[in-house]
């Protein structure tokens, strides 16, 4: 059933990144390949930190955001159960060219992929004394580290697979640290929808997104041209590895384990004073 746009007078603005996991997940939704209960969407593809800031401005009805940013959005957005990136063995990496320990990064410039990224939050939770942060687009971080412009960088997305090509070494896997510290999978990014849309509409969006994920998993080749169109500088092998790493059962539904992981991250960030407290219910249902 294709979108007919009848549920609302205009399409909902929908933000997600051009990374392979997002284009894989959202392909069926934005191309009208699944039942959307009459909802229509107007997609906007941006890097995750741009999406974080757009959501903070209230500029998007529905958006992929970092879980760090979610901590600043809870009063105005619901978190959806489908479509996010949460799992094990997929966390940000701290890479360097010359440093040999995390302690050496205290007082040294460290590049992170945006102020509101989960990567920046995890680094803060790991060691608040590593506080000389340089905010760069994620795709510029490895080059800055390789050129010696920063002492280290926190890398995400496909950079996990390509950093050795820049002569860099891994100092720490922040996701692995998080898993050992908490026992939880690492919540990286989730999908949010404006509370002002109403509970019925938000619930319908969540169902449609779950259907989009299910469609992608049942038809793994269907999204290939859409993925490739937005990942022209990434090899097919890295695209496949990227999707395999960031799309899992939690992308279909957070489940109890995923909900516990999100709650743990938000609770720790609140206790550390990184995000404001909130009593608003996180989910629409």
pLDDT at 160: 83
Question: Is 118 annotated as ligand-binding?
Answer: yes
pLDDT at 9: 63
- How many Cβ atoms are within 10 Å of 240's Cβ, its own excluded? 15
Query: What are the DSSP calls for 140-179, one per residue?
Result: GHHHHHHTTSSSEEEE-TTHHHHGGGGT-EEEEEHHHHHH
The chain-wide mean pLDDT, for the chain, equals: 93
Question: Is 64 annotated as ligand-binding?
Answer: yes
Alpha-carbon distance of 4 to 156, in angstroms, equals 37
- What sign does the dihedral 112-191-11-284 (CA atoms) show? negative
- How many Cβ atoms are within 10 Å of 9's Cβ, its own excluded? 6
Low-confidence ranges of the chain (pLDDT < 70): 1-9
Question: Is 280 annotated as ligand-binding?
Answer: no
- Domain residue spans of the chain: 12-87+187-271, 93-182
Q: In the CATH hierarchy, which top-level class contains the domain 12-87+187-271?
A: alpha beta
- Is 68 in the active site? no
Question: What CATH code would you report for 93-182?
Answer: 3.40.190.10
pLDDT at 245: 85
Residue of 72, 157, 242, 250 marked catalytic: 157
- What sign does the dihedral 224-230-231-232 (CA atoms) show? positive
Question: Is 132 annotated as ligand-binding?
Answer: no
Do the domains 12-87+187-271 and 93-182 sit in the same CATH topology, yes or no? yes
- 134 φ, ψ to 5°? -115, 120
Q: Which residues contact 1 (CB under 8 A, 6 or more apart)?
A: 34, 35, 36
Distance of CA 6 to CAs 10, 38, 40, 210, Å?
A: 8, 5, 8, 20
pLDDT at 119: 96
pLDDT at 8: 62
Q: Note the pLDDT tens digit of each residue in 150-207.
A: 999 999 877 888 899 999 999 999 999 999 999 999 999 999 999 999 999 999 999 9
User: Within 13 Å and on the Cβ side, how many CA atoms surround 92?
Assistant: 26
Alpha-carbon distance of 75 to 272, in angstroms, equals 19
């Amino acid at each position: 059933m294709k979108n007919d746009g009848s549920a609302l007078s205009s399409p909902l603005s929908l933000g997600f990144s051009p990374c392979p996991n997002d284009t894989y997940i959202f392909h069926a939704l934005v191309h009208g390949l699944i039942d959307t209960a009459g909802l229509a969407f107007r997609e906007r593809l941006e890097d995750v930190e741009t999406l974080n800031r757009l959501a903070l401005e209230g500029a998007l009805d529905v958006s992929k955001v970092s879980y760090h940013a979610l901590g600043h959005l809870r009063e105005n957005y619901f978190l959806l159960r489908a479509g996010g990136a949460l799992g094990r063995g997929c966390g940000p990496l701290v890479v360097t060219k010359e440093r040999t320990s995390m302690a050496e990064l205290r007082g040294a410039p460290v590049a992170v992929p945006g102020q509101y990224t989960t990567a920046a939050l995890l680094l803060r939770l790991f060691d608040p004394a590593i506080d000389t942060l340089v905010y760069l687009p994620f795709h510029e971080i490895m080059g800055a580290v390789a050129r010696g412009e920063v002492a280290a960088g926190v890398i995400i997305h496909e950079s996990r697979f390509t950093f050795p090509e820049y002569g860099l070494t891994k100092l720490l896997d922040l996701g692995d640290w998080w898993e050992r510290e908490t026992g939880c999978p690492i919540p990286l990014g989730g999908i949010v929808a404006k509370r002002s849309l109403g509970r019925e509409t938000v619930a319908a969006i969540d169902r449609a997104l779950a259907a989009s994920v299910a469609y992608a998993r049942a038809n793994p080749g269907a999204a290939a041209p859409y993925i490739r169109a937005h990942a022209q500088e990434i090899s097919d092998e890295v695209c496949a590895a990227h999707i395999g790493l960031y799309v899992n059962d939690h992308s279909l539904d957070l489940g109890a384990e995923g909900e516990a992981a999100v709650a743990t991250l938000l609770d720790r960030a609140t206790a550390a004073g990184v995000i404001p407290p909130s009593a608003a219910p996180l989910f629409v249902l």
